[in-house]
Structure 1
Amino acid sequence: MTRQKILITGASSGLGAGMAREFAAKGRDLALCARRAERLDELKAELLERHPGITVAVAALDVNDHDQVPKVFGELSDELGGIDCVIVNAGIGKGYPLGGGKLWANKATIETNLVAALVQIETALEMFKAAGKGHLVLVSSVLGNVGVPGVKAAYAASKAGVTSLGESLRAEYPSGPIKITVLEPGYIESEMTAKSNSTMLMVDNETGVKAMVDAIEKEKGRAVVPGWPWWPLVELMKLLPPKYTKRFA
């Protein structure tokens, strides 16, 4: 099934902007939201110049402003004439070793990546139930499969929560009409991964995004992206004693 009208949160840069470019090239209509409105305007202009046949709607949204999420989703849906697919992508990578005295950084990560994701999920499901169909995509992480010490502890925990929510929904909607996809990206080039100063098995943005969009288009239930080398690594991560997971930090 082709989902023509796609909403992406956190679309102003990184994986969100990359997915927007990939879907635009496929002729999809897009509803893009993020905190940085000026970046969204620039992306919209770029996409329409390259693909003049599509429709692109943009709106400023801080997903931590929970009351604004249903309002903005509704406005974007009205502008596009409905939404077929919602990609819950907005997230941050702040963090500090637990007990290190920077509670604010870990709290911000949990709130943005998990609590705000829950708000987006609830909003999307309400829209899809009213429409009688839809595709909900949750962008988690390979680190959602394992606890990671140091600065990524809160991030890994937040993504484990996102994966768990997605798995619960997959059990609730095993055969539609609402489809659920949980994506677990490995290290893909983006603003967030650049700030982490980690280059371990990093793939370029284009390669990573293509793998993500391919999994979304196939409506896979759960997918590690890109599959190589991350799928076997995820299986290994699940077996490693906790002291060895710091290699992924």
Structure 2
Amino acid sequence: MGGGRRVNILITGASVGLGRGMAREFAAAGHSLALCARRVDALQALRDELLAAAPGIRVSVRALDVNCHEDVFSVFRDFAAEFGTLDRIVVNAGVGKGQPLGTGYFHANLATAQTNFVAALAQCEAAMELFRAQGSGHLVTISSMSALRGMPRNMTAYGATKAGLASLSEGLRLELLGTPIRVTTVYPGYIRTEINDFAGKLPFEVDEATGSRAIVRAIESGRDEVYVPAWPWRWIGMLMRVAPLWLLRRMI
């Protein structure tokens, strides 16, 4: 998909961070966009920006809180009816509120699990409903390098939710082998966005624009699983999957 052909792409969590960055990159490539997030004002400002830069594309925006699961299905269906077909759906909306377990912040870990996995499940369900009806489509899920192994402290619950999403994606990929429906899992490394703006300097971090550009290139590559930016995260990912716990602890 892509390869010079204009496609219709739905992105959740599109008002900020990687969702916004991907929207800018896809728009610059001439693709039409269905953008949703909770902040309609930010979506409208982004739509105006994208249309000014690429007047030949189509951009539609809708309010969506992905934790309102019925709204996920209705918004996806409304976009599909408006565009006629949705060629790619990017499950991107997420939060990073995790805290060390047993320290009195169950509410934060619960919110992380509800948004990053349960709401992502709803988005995948809604996407697959449309793709099965169309007979084609490209589902993209934004996981994390933290999904590759269990993570300590603030990353424990967050990493577990992203691992769940990666496993869900792989199960779909296995089911859909040999069909016109594709599934890509993206494992971003440290990309500086609003979700981690509170953190200090992160190893090998890149800014939002650089990270978004790398993600879009990876999505367009057609590979099933992609680590972004490829250097050094592809090699770090290979090491993380096999490292003993004592080495993993030093790495993170």
Q: What TM-score range do you get, normalising by the shorter chain?
A: over 0.9
Residues 123 and 236 (structure 1), Cα distance of their counterparts in 2 relative to 1, 3 Å cut: same
How far 1:77 moved relative to its partner? 1.7
| Residue 159 (structure 1) aligns with | 162
Match of 2:106 among 92, 98, 103: 103
Which residue of structure 2 aligns with residue 80 of structure 1?
Answer: 83
Post-superposition CA distance 1:115-170 (Å, at most 9, x none)? 11100001100101111110000100011001111011100000000110111111
Please report how far the alpha carbon of residue 244 of structure 1 lies from its aligned counterpart in structure 2 after TM superposition: 4.7
1:198 CA drift (Å): 4.5
* Letter aligned with residue 14 of structure 1: G
Q: Report the CA distance between 1:206 and its aligned residue.
A: 2.0
Q: Structure 2 regions of 5+ residues with no counterpart? A: none
Q: CA deviation at 1:241?
A: 3.1
Distance (whole Å) between structure 2 residues aligned to residue 198 and residue 115 of structure 1: 30
**What TM-score do the two structures reach when normalised by structure 2?**
0.95
| Structure 1 residues 149 and 4, CA gap change in structure 2 (3 angstroms) | same
> Residue 121 of structure 2 is aligned with which of 113, 118, 123?
118
1:42 aligns with 2:45: yes
Match of 2:179 among 176, 179, 191: 176
Correspondence for 2:188 among 180, 185, 188: 185
> TM-score scaled by structure 1?
0.96
AA paired with 1:148?
Answer: M
Cα displacement string for residues 62-118 of structure 1 (whole angstroms, at most 9, x for unaligned residues): 000001001011112222222110000000000110111110000111110011110
| Conserved 8 A contact 1:29-1:80 | no
Aligned to 1:92: 95
Contact preservation (8 Å) 1:149, 1:245 = no
Report the identity percentage.
50
Partners of 2:130 and 2:227 in 1: CA distance = 27
CA distance in 1, matches of 2:127, 2:201: 33
In the aligned structure 2, how far is the partner of 1:93 from the partner of 1:41? 25
Question: Which residue in the other structure is 1:238 paired with?
Answer: 241
Paired residue secondary structure (1:147): coil
Return closer, same or farther for 1:27/1:15 CA change in 2, 3 Å cut-off. Answer: same
**CA shift for structure 1 position 57:** 0.4
Give the Cα separation in 1 of the matches to 2:100 and 2:249.
12
Stretch deviating more after TM superposition (3-12 or 202-211) = 202-211
Task: Name the CA distance, whole Å, in 2 between partners of 1:32 and 1:144.
Answer: 26
Q: State how many pairs are aligned.
A: 249
Q: For 1:216, give the aligned amino acid.
A: I
